[in-house]
């Protein structure tokens, strides 16, 4: 089934338009699985295609059983693709250099609007910046593969590393190492804390468990780029995105954060929901990078991040 980028996004928006609180929690929990390096959007996209081919209805529950990898990776793990199976299409971002219009640049330079560098590298002479575009990439799920020789240990499931929970003091130190300030001050009752530029303030009167959750929530605000002075209509979405990010990061470390109150505020049309999910996914990667999780880097995040 060959899908164009536009068709993939249209189908994705239709599914996300009806997403509810329980489905979102399941989706975020799946994203926290250590073997899933693909974005939330791509997990849903692959799941939708796989369900259609099986003649079944798509359910967010099925995402927990997905194990996606390109053909060369399955070969490396000792599997081959089952006869008749076709690749699933997901979206991958690539940067394309824009061709430089030398004549136009020269004319602009003559009028003092741009400067022309004469001794730039040959590789860059004909390029003028780059643009980010999405292309479809083929992947296969484990259900589409067969083990070449019987092995009950399923080698594809042995590649994950156990991530231990972060101790509270270590969590604070890693955030500070990134350049943020963390302070504990007495705040009014029922207040967790707040983010002010690069400063996270946590209510010292709360329990350690509540402080832990607040710290992850405010770190999520930071990773999402949320600042003070958001319009009231955007506050609910910002709080949801931050709590959803904190929930996913905590789940990654095997820690349960009670996020149902925030997640219950989920709303919006399919396009808006997809946009927030993309932002949540990026923020999760950024937070894990700050917390020094092995294997998390900006390069790998860029390769796997979808629209």
Range of the domain at 182: 168-304
Q: Is the pLDDT of residue 224 over 90?
A: yes
Residue 136 domain-assigned (yes or no): no
Residue 212 domain-assigned (yes or no): yes
Residue 197 domain-assigned (yes or no): yes
Residue 114 domain-assigned (yes or no): no
Residue 80 domain-assigned (yes or no): no
Residue 25 — very low, low, confident or very high, per pLDDT cuts 50/70/90? confident
Residue 129, by phi and psi: left (phi above 0), alpha (psi -120 to 50) or beta? left
Location of structure tokens 């402080």 = 211
Angle at which helix 270-290 crosses helix 21-31, to 10 degrees, equals 30
Residue 161 domain-assigned (yes or no): no
Residue 129 domain-assigned (yes or no): no
| Tens-place pLDDT, residues 63-115 | 888 889 999 989 888 899 999 999 999 888 788 876 655 555 555 455 444 44
CB 47 within 8 A of CB 63: yes
Residue 295 — very low, low, confident or very high, per pLDDT cuts 50/70/90? low
Across residues 131-142, what is the average pLDDT? 86
Q: Would the pTM count as exceeding 0.85?
A: no
Q: Tally the domains of the chain.
A: 1
Location of structure tokens 């067969």 = 146
Chain Cα centroid distance, residue 221: 15
Residue 215 domain-assigned (yes or no): yes
Query: Which of residues 164 and 141 earns the better pLDDT score?
Result: 141
173 to 110, 240, 297: CA distances (angstroms): 54, 26, 19
| Tens-place pLDDT, residues 167-196 | 889 999 999 999 999 999 999 988 899 999
Q: What pLDDT shows up at residue 177?
A: 96
| Alpha-carbon gap, residue 134 to 89, rounded angstroms | 12
């Amino acid at each position: 089934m060959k899908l164009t980028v536009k068709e993939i996004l249209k189908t994705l928006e239709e599914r996300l338009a009806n997403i509810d609180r329980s489905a979102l929690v399941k989706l975020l929990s799946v994203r926290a699985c250590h073997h899933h390096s693909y974005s939330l959007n791509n997990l849903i996209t692959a799941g939708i295609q796989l369900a259609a081919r099986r003649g079944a209805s798509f359910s967010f529950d099925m995402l927990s059983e997905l194990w996606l990898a390109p053909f060369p990776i399955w070969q490396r793990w000792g599997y081959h693709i089952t006869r008749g199976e076709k690749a699933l299409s997901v979206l991958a971002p690539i940067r394309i250099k824009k061709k430089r219009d030398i004549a136009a640049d020269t004319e602009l330079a003559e009028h003092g609007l741009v400067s022309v560098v004469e001794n730039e590298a040959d590789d860059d002479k004909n390029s003028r910046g780059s643009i980010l575009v999405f292309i479809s990439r083929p992947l296969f799920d484990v259900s589409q593969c067969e083990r070449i020789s019987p092995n009950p240990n399923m080698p594809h499931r042995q590649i994950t590393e156990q991530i231990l929970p972060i101790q509270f003091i270590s969590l604070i130190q890693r955030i500070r190492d990134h350049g943020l300030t963390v302070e504990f001050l007495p705040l009014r009752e029922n207040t967790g804390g707040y983010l002010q530029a690069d400063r996270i303030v946590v209510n010292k009167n709360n329990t350690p468990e509540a402080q832990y959750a607040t710290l992850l929530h405010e770190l999520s605000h930071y990773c999402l780029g949320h600042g003070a002075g958001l319009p009231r209509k955007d506050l609910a979405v910002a709080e949801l995105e931050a709590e959803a990010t904190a929930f996913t990061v905590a789940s990654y470390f095997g820690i349960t954060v009670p996020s149902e109150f925030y997640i219950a505020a989920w709303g919006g049309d399919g396009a808006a929901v997809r946009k927030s999910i993309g932002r949540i996914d990026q923020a999760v990667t950024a937070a894990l990078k700050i917390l020094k999780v092995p294997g998390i880097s900006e390069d790998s995040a860029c390769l796997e991040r979808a629209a």
